[in-house]
A = this chain, B = another copy of it.
């Protein structure tokens, strides 16, 4: 239960779709939901687990990834404030095991919903349904995109595209990330990432130093991600 008006306000702000719901539904949400805080690195769900509740993220981000037997891993998608892990939702609604791992990438504040309420609201609340379906579809597309990238795209292209994508979020042209972290994002291995980065460096497209990648020729990088 969430009583504090400040916390209620934060919940409404993080999940705008709630504004479109009737007063009684919001009251129901406040009554049924619990606030939790999870530290960095906290494992939320592991492969094969059955999900006991659905977390709706208020602050922080979660990372959902696949882990191979050999230790390699790949990030499937992230769960940001205002979102929830729909794979969890689908597991709850169907009673199946979770097919991946989920971990707190930063400290996470979330409200958790019990499976019974998740199901009930699907029946009673149109906005809740819309919210969940939107998330399911967008995740599905992200995962399909990952599959496409892994199968059909060359690693140098994927790497360049990823670095360019980061640049929009990060400050300037400097990317603070280790080769290992990049490998985990793209589902590759550190050695290969190092090799590819060295190739790009020798073409003058970027510069690497310990823990830092500096994009030098952004227009050229953008060109190469588009072409073959």
Contact = CB atoms under 8 A, between A and B. Distances in A.
Interface of A: 66, 68-70, 72, 74, 76, 87, 90-91, 93-94, 96, 99-100, 122-123, 126, 129, 133-134, 136-138, 140-141, 143-148, 150-153, 187, 228
A143 B187 CA distance: 16
15 contacts: A66-B152, A68-B152, A69-B152, A74-B147, A90-B133, A90-B136, A94-B134, A94-B138, A96-B138, A122-B129, A123-B123, A140-B140, A143-B147, A147-B147, A150-B150
Contact of A99 (B66, B133, B136, B140): B140
A87 to B, nearest CB: 6
Contacts of A69: 152, 228
Indicate how many identical chains form the complex.
Answer: 2
A228 B69 CA distance: 10
Given A66-B148, A123-B123, 6 more contacts: A74-B147, A90-B133, A94-B133, A122-B122, A143-B144, A151-B187
